[in-house]
Amino acid sequence: MSKHLLRRKRFWLLFMSIGLVGWAPTFRSFRIILQTAPNTPRAIAVEPAISFTNIADWTEQKNVIRKNLEQSVYGQYPHEVSLKPVKMFTIGDGRFGQNGLLDIIQFDILNNENDKKHSLNVVIVRPANVDGPVPIILTQNFCPTHNIVQIKGVPVPDNIGFSCVGSGIRSKLMLFIFGRYIVSPPIEDILNEGFALAISYPPEFIPDQSHLGQTVLDNFFSNYSEENRPGALISWAMLNVELANFIDQREQFSDTITWGHSRYGKTALLAAAYSDQIDGVISHQSGTGGASLFRNNAGETFEDIYTLYPHWFGKNAKNYASNEDSLPLDQHALLALIAPRPLLLGNARRDVWSDPEGAFRAAKAINGAYELYGVTGMTATRLDQFIPKDSLAFWIRSGTHGVIKEDWPAFLSFLVFHFKTQ
């Protein structure tokens, strides 16, 4: 057997072993990953129904929805936290390839009620030789920022202990399973379309490990009671909100769009639900706790996700995790808070664990929120109808959970239609 074939055999043995270890605890999980999302959604009413009578009544409802989301799912939104820029600089001559300018911003994350502080590095890549402000996409990523923008001088965070690049089997598996753009989006393509990109790594603030994440949350938010303390998702979302506030003061940028995949698809939605400075959202495969409904979920349940990632949620979530029907609302309420701004929900046909059908049903249920503002929401009647001109659009492709070559052309077609200024 050649060395090449031997390496391939070892790779697939390792891949299958990891899959068996990961999925063996539940046959239901293994059965779900073999399924395919339907093109036609089930005719099940989304509950509880939301009344979209007039803008004044809806404005009052939104505050109630946010409060219910905080108390039952995410924990309290940390309004007292702010981002303070402490250092801003340009690397070298400021060029990213031949198409972009590269800025580095170091922030302090400040809890203004207990004087706790953390740091966050943000890299902004913006088109060169462009007159006037450009739209900017805020991306929260699975990989440290210096892995995404691999240019000398990009800060390497302390104590991350994680890397997405290199020749090791872990990096290769990550790319193989989750796609070519899981490490870094196609920055050149984004610049060429006239969009800027703000890149951050949320675990610099709240680590994404259950025990360590809980410890940091308890310490940073020591001013909260246990039942109200924010979870990681709403804390990461707050970073996007504060970054959007910072960007709104800079003349180089026009519209601000949040983008995220999986857990950061959840935070992209949450940030827009709390900030009018965010003008649009692309939430890709956000699943349970994101765009997909808790009730009648075809994939991951609330109990599944809470068991694995308790630090993502508020402490009260444990009271609802085993009984989604006891929740005072469902995730269509979160999506409705974003109306009438452009919102694209990305999905994959084999990613039933993230329940694309549940996300589609949630989106259809909030068309009334868009209509209140005289905006057409979702016109698609099937999951496989991608209509980028819709303010509420749905994208589904073949394959599984990840960010692959087909995704970003779809994202950009949606962004160009709604935000292209030149």
Q: Find, among 419, 372, 394, the residue nearest to 62 by Cα.
A: 372
Computed on alpha carbons and rounded to an integer, the radius of gyration of the chain in Å comes to: 21
Whose CA is closest to 190, among 97, 120, 90?
Answer: 97
Going from N- to C-terminal start, the domains of the chain cover 35-419
pLDDT in tens, 105-135: 999 999 999 999 999 999 999 998 888 899 9
Instruction: Give the DSSP letter of residue 114.
Output: T
pLDDT tens digits for 359-405? Answer: 999 999 999 999 999 999 999 999 999 999 999 999 999 999 999 99
**What element of type H or E holds 392?**
strand 392-397
Tens digit of each residue's pLDDT (9 = 90 or more) over 218-271: 999 999 999 999 999 999 999 999 999 999 999 999 999 999 999 999 999 999
- Please give the DSSP secondary-structure letter assigned to residue 406: T
Residue pair 238/78 in contact by the 8 Å Cβ criterion: yes
Q: Which residues are CB-neighbours of 287 under 8 A, at least 6 positions away?
A: 262, 265, 266, 299, 300, 305, 351, 353, 354, 355, 359
Q: State the pairing for strand pair 253-261/343-348.
A: unpaired
378 contacts 393 by C-beta, under 8 angstroms: yes
Q: Are 225 and 168 spatial neighbours (Cβ–Cβ below 8 Å)?
A: no
Q: Is 50 exceeded by the pLDDT of residue 13?
A: no
C-alpha distance from residue 238 to each of 41, 81, 315 (Å)? 33, 8, 18
Note every long-range contact of 9-16, with CB atoms under 8 Å and residues 24 or more positions apart, other chains counting: 11/169, 11/172, 14/169, 14/173, 15/173, 15/176, 15/177
pTM comes to 0.92
Q: In what order do the strands lie in the sheet with 343-348?
A: 81-96, 100-111, 117-127, 196-200, 134-140, 253-261, 280-284, 343-348, 392-397
What are the φ and ψ backbone dihedral angles of 81, each rounded to 5 degrees? -95, 140
Query: What is the rounded CA–CA span in Å between residue 311 and residue 232?
Result: 6
Query: In whole angstroms, what is the distance from residue 401 CA to residue 285 CA?
Result: 7
Q: Which residues pair with 127 in a beta bridge?
A: 100
What CATH class is the domain 35-419?
A: alpha beta
